[in-house]
């Protein structure tokens, strides 16, 4: 099982289980859940503090219990993430490309950094300085993200076909690091394919496997923004990695949720 930072596991727990609890988890239940992965209370509190500073979590007391709730912005990002993680929309050549061009005054360097970070997080590739590209299907999510962060006024968005002189397959290798992406897909497959052998795990075992598995997976649909398979190598490792995720998700999600809610309600 890959060694995952506590902060990433906490984000997965909130995305999976806090929304059924009013987007809130008590400190006690969060510590109890994280203990299942061998993470102690001090590490949990330290990671939560960082998430609070980043505006992801907000300290909230409920019924006399200390806890943390997801911020409004974090909830919106999680809802968008649900589509990427579970629906995994895949573009086709007919969808064309979305091009984002931005210009930020030198006096607003932090805005330039925020724009680059946002587009990178959404899986955009870099076609040229200040010119970012993604499949045409990324428009709605991109427009929402730019508006949410107050960055839309710095950008121009275009959607259309690639009409350059080179083959689009070669250009994609320049816009994205496809070799690294393939390696990450393969790492996921190698790490989690053995878990397919366990057909009927207990709720506790399902939870112990499912949350780390989902945590390892959820960044991949952002690094790969649904790139058209027609322009990727025929043996693209993302296909098999996606199959492993789909089978484990279907097998582990329900029993893992059962165990998580037992822990959450027992820790209050």
- Chain mean position to CA 234: 25
Q: Cα dist. 102→119, 153, 209 in Å?
A: 11, 9, 42
Q: For position 88, what pLDDT does the model report?
A: 84
**Positions of CATH 3.30.70 in the chain:** 97-160
Residue 1 clears pLDDT 60, i.e. is over it: no
pLDDT, mean of residues 106-135: 93
C-alpha span between 134 and 252 (Å, rounded): 32
pLDDT, mean of residues 112-131: 94
DSSP-based three-state secondary structure for 81: helix
DSSP 176: S
Q: How many CB atoms lie within 10 A of CB 140?
A: 11
Beta bridge partners of 155: 102
pLDDT confidence tier of residue 2, bands split at 50, 70 and 90: low
Q: For position 60, what pLDDT does the model report?
A: 96
Q: How many CB atoms lie within 10 A of CB 153?
A: 9
Judging by beta carbons within 10 Å of its beta carbon (0-12, 13-18, 19+), is residue 266 exposed, middle or buried?
exposed
pLDDT confidence tier of residue 267, bands split at 50, 70 and 90: low
**What is the share, in percent, of the chain residues with pLDDT greater than 90?**
89
pLDDT, mean of residues 163-172: 91
Pick the CATH number of 6-73 from 1.10.510.10, 1.20.910.10, 1.10.10.10, 3.40.50.300: 1.10.10.10
pLDDT, one tens digit per residue, over 25-64 is 999 999 999 999 999 999 999 999 999 999 999 999 998 8
Q: Kindly report the pTM of this predicted structure.
A: 0.91
pLDDT confidence tier of residue 3, bands split at 50, 70 and 90: confident
C-alpha span between 215 and 63 (Å, rounded): 30
pLDDT, one tens digit per residue, over 179-224 is 999 999 999 999 999 999 998 999 999 999 999 999 999 999 999 9
**Positions of CATH 1.10.10.10 in the chain:** 6-73
Q: Which CATH class is domain 97-160?
A: alpha beta
């Amino acid at each position: 099982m890959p060694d995952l930072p506590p902060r990433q596991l906490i984000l997965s727990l909130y995305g999976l289980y806090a929304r059924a609890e009013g987007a809130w988890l008590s400190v006690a239940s969060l510590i109890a859940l994280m203990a299942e992965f061998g993470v102690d209370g001090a590490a949990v509190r330290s990671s939560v503090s960082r998430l609070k500073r980043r505006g992801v979590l907000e300290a909230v007391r409920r019924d006399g219990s200390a806890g943390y709730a997801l911020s409004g912005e974090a909830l919106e990002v999680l809802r968008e993430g649900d589509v990427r993680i579970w629906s995994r929309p895949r573009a086709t050549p007919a969808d064309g490309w979305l091009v984002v061009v931005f210009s930020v005054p030198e006096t607003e360097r932090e805005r330039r950094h925020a724009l680059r970070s946002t587009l990178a997080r959404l899986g955009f590739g870099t076609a040229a300085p200040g010119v970012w590209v993604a499949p045409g299907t990324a428009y709605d999510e991109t427009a929402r993200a730019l508006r949410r962060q107050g960055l839309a006024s710095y950008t121009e968005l275009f959607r259309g076909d690639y009409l350059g002189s080179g083959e689009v397959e070669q250009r994609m290798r320049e816009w994205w690091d496809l070799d690294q992406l393939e390696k990450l897909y393969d790492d996921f497959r190698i790490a989690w394919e053995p878990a397919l052998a366990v057909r009927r795990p207990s709720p506790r075992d399902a939870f112990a496997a499912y949350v780390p598995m989902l945590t390892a997976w959820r960044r991949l649909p952002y690094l790969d923004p649904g790139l058209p398979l027609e322009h990727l190598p025929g043996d693209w490792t993302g296909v098999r990695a996606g199959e492993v995720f789909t089978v484990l998700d279907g097998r582990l999600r329900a029993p893992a949720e059962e165990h998580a809610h037992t822990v959450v309600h027992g820790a209050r």
